[in-house]
Amino acid sequence: MPKLAVYIVVVVVLLIGGVFLVNERAVQREGGEGLAGSKQYTNATYGISFSYPGAYVLSELDAPGSAMRKHHVITLIHKDNLPLPVNGEGPPAITIELYQNDLDKQTTEGWIRNTSASNFKLGEGRLSSTTVSGLPALSFRWSGLYLGTTIALAQPKWVYVLSVTYLEIGAPIVQDFVSVRDSVRIAK
């Protein structure tokens, strides 16, 4: 009889643990593309939304000198890297930049190869095909003060540029960037 009681207790504990595990995974999925503790960003003006980890602080601004052609910058910096250094280089970051494209009507590759803002000339010279929000995009790696990966996607109104800077391959910010990239939704 005591063995039967032990088996029943073990089965009950396993069932409760299984229910807890399934429930925890469901809560994470509902939290924004699997980003536990994530926050949501939406901007109808630029037709973009995405989830990002709660450990990051989001800031945005219209870039200086963007009066003729709009250039909007969204930056995600990990809370551990704040406050920013005064008169120094900023920390590794995830950025999403939006460049006005309804005047020049550039293609994704044209924007990458012909715009110094792309940092393509600091790279390996190779473009890789990818997608963002189900739309065709191009990706490349580059190296300057930091290592970087950039993904660009030209649309009729905006060129969407997602980048991450990091100090070493495999840095946690790279995985966070992948999660952000996978959550991006661009209005069609």
pLDDT value for 105: 95
Residue 44, token pair as written in the block: 């109808």
Query: CATH number for the 37-186 domain, one of 3.40.1000.10, 3.20.20.140, 3.40.30.10, 3.40.50.720?
Result: 3.40.1000.10
Decide if pLDDT at 6 tops 60: no
Decide if pLDDT at 13 tops 80: no
Higher-confidence residue of 17 and 102: namely 102
CB < 8 Å & 24+ apart, contacts of 10-16? none
pLDDT value for 38: 93
Band of residue 36 on the pLDDT scale cut at 50, 70, 90: low
Decide if pLDDT at 27 tops 70: no
d(CA 94, CA 96): 7
Q: State the average pLDDT for the chain.
A: 84
Q: What is the pLDDT of residues 50-85, one digit of tens each?
A: 999 999 999 999 998 767 889 999 999 999 999 998
pLDDT value for 124: 82
The pTM for the full model equals: 0.79
Q: What is the pLDDT of residues 107-162, one digit of tens each?
A: 999 999 999 999 999 988 899 999 999 999 999 999 988 999 999 999 999 999 99
pLDDT value for 85: 87
Element (H, E) at 61: strand 56-62
pLDDT value for 42: 97
E strand residue ranges, 66-186:
71-78, 94-100, 128-132, 135-143, 147-154, 158-166, 185-186
Residue 115 CB coordination number (10 Å): 16
Element (H, E) at 56: strand 56-62
The arithmetic mean of pLDDT across residues 175-188, rounded, is 95
Nearest to 96 by CA among 26, 185, 27: 185
